Structure 1
Amino acid sequence: MADLVDTRGILRFISADTPHPIGSVPKRLIDILLALLGIFLLAPLLVICFAATVLSSPGPALFRHRRVGFNGKTFECLKFRTMRPDAAERLQRLLDSDPTAAAEWEASHKLRCDPRVTMIGALLRKSSLDELPQLFNVLRGDMSIIGPRPVTEEELARYAGAVPAYLACRPGITGLWQVSGRSTTTYAKRVEYDTFYAENWSLALDTKILIVTIPALFSDGAY
């Protein structure tokens, strides 16, 4: 999918030391309505994914991972568990034995052939169904429907001068980077997308991202 925006050139960085996240009350009201609608309409799918995860491998159905949100507040980001119980050990063995995989991990913190992921987990990831529980994060106010991809404290350091732009937003389930070829872009490009979004937010931009999210889900490698 072609990039939605031209992020070439020098981007202005904004301060996140504000009482309200990007979009303030209007964006929050839309988030609540969309999250409630999504949970209601997708309830059967949530149950199926929950059951499939539990039955496919040992461990809980939900995975909770600490991420950084608006103004640096941390929260537990919810996903359906897609990894095996010994995921950390599997990853370390691969990185120690495969320089190509180690370089890929260093560049994007992602692996195209990830030995940690279960068979059901791979299907959930490919369809992004693993992220459906984040609708509850949206209701709690930790996240938005649309915003930057939620990052860990370690990842945030990679944003360097763009940290204030990231912290000015609630992280999103979908966003500009996610619909602009997330699996085929560099981490630096991801930072540019997040910064552009923070600086240029509007309801029109959110609407455009939401509209292209669904076809992006079904584009191989695009979401």
Structure 2
Amino acid sequence: MRLRNKPWAKPLIKANPQWVVTEPEQWRGKWQERFAKPQPLYVEVGTGKGRFIVEMAQKYPDRNFIGLEMQAVAVGITLKKQLEAQLPNLQLVCANGSGLTEFFADDEVTGIFLNFSDPWPKKRNEKRRLTYKSFLASYKQVMQDDGLLEFKTDNRGLFEYSLCSMNNFGMHFEQVFLDLHDTDEDNVMTEYEEKFSKKGQPIYKLTAKF
């Protein structure tokens, strides 16, 4: 979802290089140096306004988190949350998620989160879906052998596509939820997720390994 331009966003990002990376290639294989201490590294591809990644960092202080987002306005909104929280285990990256293998070394990442990604419903845009085989290949390359991929969406078509795509790629499903909020599953929500679940929209989720 495109956000309205906020003139303050880019200056705020530029003024806080301790929290936001704009040239992630420079940190490939060295991300642990940006955190207070080395810990398992988790990456959210497409952070939106940042509720999920901030709350995850608060909930799991024994893990390090990176929120990757291409929209500067969204990064700026997340950065405001981080400036208030000052979480030592959270870093933000303003860049396109398609460059994952350029940003992270092989086996550098423990887990990846894909939350409410753009469904790109038209067939001609299939290669843009974050669960398309080329993206799955990049996740596999940067993740450790036992790393976990977590995917959530409100779009049934994208969920069905992702199940098939991951299955065809040879992934092993750990969990599959057709109505996440109708279970006792421990869950940290995104802003988008809360909005649509309140309207009664089922939330689909899966976790899988390569």
Query: Do Structure 1 and Structure 2 share a fold, with TM-score over 0.5?
Result: no
**Structure with greater helix share of residues:** 1
Structure number with larger C-alpha Rg: 1
TM-score, L = length of structure 2: 0.23
**Structure with greater strand share of residues:** 2
TM-score, L = length of structure 1: 0.22
